[in-house]
Chain A
Amino acid sequence: MKKKLVTVTASVLVLSSVLSACGSGNKENNASPSASPAASPSASASPSEAASPAPVERFDVSLRHIQIGELQKFRKAILDEVVQKAEAEVPGANFEMDAVEDSFNRWTKLPAEMAAGNPPKIFDLFGGPGDGQKFARANKLLDLTPILDELGIKDKFTDFSTFIVDEKVYGLPIGASAEGWFYNKEILDANGIAAPQTLEELEAAFETLKGKGVTPIAMGSQAAWVPFMLLNTLIPRYAGDDIQAGVANGSRKMTEPEVVAALAKYKEWVDKGYFTKGELGIDYTGQTNEFVAGKAGFLFDGTWRVSTFNADGVGGALNGKVGYFAMPAVPGGKGDPTSVNYNQNNGYGFSADVNDNEKAAVKAFIKNLYTEEYQVRGFQEDGVLPSMKVDASKLTSDNSLMQQVLAINAAAGKVFPHFDSLVPGTVNGEFEKQIQNLIAGKATPEKAAEEIQKAMDAELAALK
């Protein structure tokens, strides 16, 4: 755990130097749209394996991804390019793309395929005990260590600890992200609200917006991982930055008064009507759409959302009108108010069941996707923070929103992970259920905390 924090902090530090570099001279450059993303076919991508002239048999390589719809178009474009390159390098390879919605893939389809023994050859995968580590222990995932050694990129990643079992690597994070508050400057200005610095100001802003008939916080909690993001940051603010790790290893409890206080704060916001009405029937895209449509003042979301507000993104209308800040300190909270949630828990995993041809295709996929070029492009186009060590000089952004994100990450004294990268799947499921119960008024904060702790205790007991 400690080691992970060090590497993550290191990557944040790298980013901070980037930021200071671009903070100085970039103001004038803003006018010229220099970031033309498509025109960067870097020379480094020359195919190393010579294509054999002999006729080769075509073979399919199934590839499950979650880049569905307009909102993910930048990342889908990168994926398409990588696939093309990999197909060119491996004679006969035909990547068969299968797009599946994120939570359906993560919670239903992939687990079912794992149990049935027919996962795709390449698939979107989360790390942690509920996902990647569980599958790795059941020998369902391809051990990537030899491939990484061969490609010489093993030490290029800043942190893939949630994908490691017994010192072997079973998955590669595609990027990193932090989570924080986005706000609509126009709406705040129109209502005479300055960007909030403290919890008091934040709550005052909610109250003002609500009074004016504007939804304070865009929220779509049909899938519980969405409201979970906000709680995942609120809880450490109250209970300390080690709460996730503590709950996962049994040294801390969900029922501690600080955790309950965080849940109570969330419930208070629900009861005061600060979130989108009918949030339990709105999905993640619906939440994004509401904010993009200028109907809500705030949005708590991951930094991957930054690209949505690019001029050519879905939320292009809000280009330049969105700000970002970290969750403020809470009164009496144990958490470091500068610390941020920081994840690199999502990426790709590969089926253990691959033949030589497919293995070659997998290798080509990894080789082409996990490059500095795409890490930088993902950062520039899509606001995805790098999961690999990247030349700091390339991580500049003339996007003011991205600069804010980088500044906040750079200022972070500590980082904390997501519960779902540390606790077993059943506990995460109970957590999600209780969050929705809290929102629906079916559970009190105390009761919700109790139920989650009960699930955790059961898992801990089973380990012994």
Chain B
Amino acid sequence: MNKTLRNPYVYLLFVLPTLGLYGLFFVYPVLQSVFYGLTNWDGLTPAKYTGLDNFVKAFNDEDFWISVKNNMYFILFSLFVQVPLIILFSLLISGVKRLQGFYKTTVFLPSILSTSIIGILWGFMYHPSIGLFNNFLGWFGLEPIYWLSDTKWAMLSILVTNAWQWMGFYIVLVLAAILAIPKEINEAAEIDGATGFQRAYRITTPLIMPVISVVVMLSIAGAMRVVDIVLVMTNGGPAGATEVMASYMVNKALRYGQYGYGTALSIMIFVIALLLTAIYQIVFARRQERIEY
């Protein structure tokens, strides 16, 4: 039997496609990035080795750090606005009997739309004259706000749209965990006189911590690579106010032909992601069961 499960040919057959694709589309590009990151390659003329110049430049590149900061907004917004709301709505949906299926189906709806369509859709929501929000402000006699063109509001507008798109997805995940909690636990607590709020806070929430940990992890990963929604809604504007790391990097490389610098930035982004993951592991995941081999 052990022999069957040690069949090296089958093993190779099963493992090689993954390793091949992984090698080609992850490992090779990473090595390539490190290589180009040390050069001044402009895409048109042969690359010249410039050592760590690009990285020194990146550290002093104010605009890059602004884009890093904008990615951090995505993370903070996820953690402190989205996640609490996700838990709240999940608890509420799990608590109702009527319409539960309807709520579940509806909240997931935005997640199936493509980001570019959501960008177009919400572009109209934020439209200065015909948009929902300014009409709403108009009812109260307030001045219209230029949501996507005001440097003060553009970031928040994108964050809200992003939350609208993805919250339902996470709600369905959390909801599943809540519904999987054995009913007896809650019933016992109810008999002991615990109120609905107490039960949610003291029993359900701790029990769903593992799935919340997954949600947080996915949110951070999503926030690190966010770019589509920004490209579609503001293209990094107004005046660079919503530029994120990925769009900044792509712009540097493609528009200005600074491929060397662009790939150096991609390595910086990778390092930042590693740091965040480490912080997350230390602060949050230590108490949880880690995904381990």
10 contacts between A and B (CB under 8 A): A108-B255, A111-B254, A115-B254, A222-B149, A278-B148, A429-B255, A429-B256, A433-B239, A440-B241, A442-B239
Any B CB within 8 A of the CB of A140: yes
Q: Which of A279-287, A384-392, A409-417 contacts B (4 or more CB under 8 A)?
A: A279-287
B238 neighbours in A (Cβ, 8 Å): 222, 280-281, 436, 440
- In angstroms, Cα B259 to Cα A134, docked, is 15
Q: From residue 128 to 165 of chain B, which have CB atoms closer than 8 A to chain A? A: 128, 144, 146-151, 154
Any A CB within 8 A of the CB of B23: no
Q: Is the CB of B255 within 8 A of A436?
A: no
A116 neighbours in B (Cβ, 8 Å): 43
Chain B, residue nearest A220 (CB): B149
- The 8 A CB mask of A101-138 against B (1 = contact, 0 = none) is 00000011001101110000000000000000011011
What is the interface residue range for chain A against chain B? 20 to 34
Q: How far is the CB of A277 from chain B (nearest CB, A)?
A: 6
A115 neighbours in B (Cβ, 8 Å): 42-44, 254, 257, 259
- In angstroms, Cα B286 to Cα A338, docked, is 73
Q: Do A108 and B254 contact each other (CB < 8 Å), given the known contacts A281-B237, A440-B239?
A: yes
Q: From residue 429 to 446 of chain A, which have CB atoms closer than 8 A to chain B? A: 429, 433, 436-437, 439-442
- In angstroms, Cα B150 to Cα A222, docked, is 11
Q: Is the CB of B128 within 8 A of A140?
A: no
Chain A, residue nearest B149 (CB): A281
- In angstroms, Cα B43 to Cα A114, docked, is 8
Q: Do A278 and B44 contact each other (CB < 8 Å), given the known contacts A222-B235, A426-B256?
A: no
Any B CB within 8 A of the CB of A92: no
Q: How far is the CB of B157 from chain A (nearest CB, A)?
A: 10
Q: Is the CB of B239 within 8 A of A436?
A: yes
Q: Is the CB of B239 within 8 A of A278?
A: no
- In angstroms, Cα B256 to Cα A108, docked, is 9
The answer, among B44, B146, B237, for a CB contact under 8 Å with A114, is B44
Any B CB within 8 A of the CB of A425: yes
Q: Is the CB of B150 within 8 A of A138?
A: no
The answer, among B44, B148, B154, B239, for a CB contact under 8 Å with A134, is B44
- The 8 A CB mask of A428-464 against B (1 = contact, 0 = none) is 0100010011011110000000000000000000000
Q: How far is the CB of B28 from chain A (nearest CB, A)?
A: 16
The answer, among B42, B44, B234, B251, for a CB contact under 8 Å with A281, is B234
- In angstroms, Cα B257 to Cα A279, docked, is 28
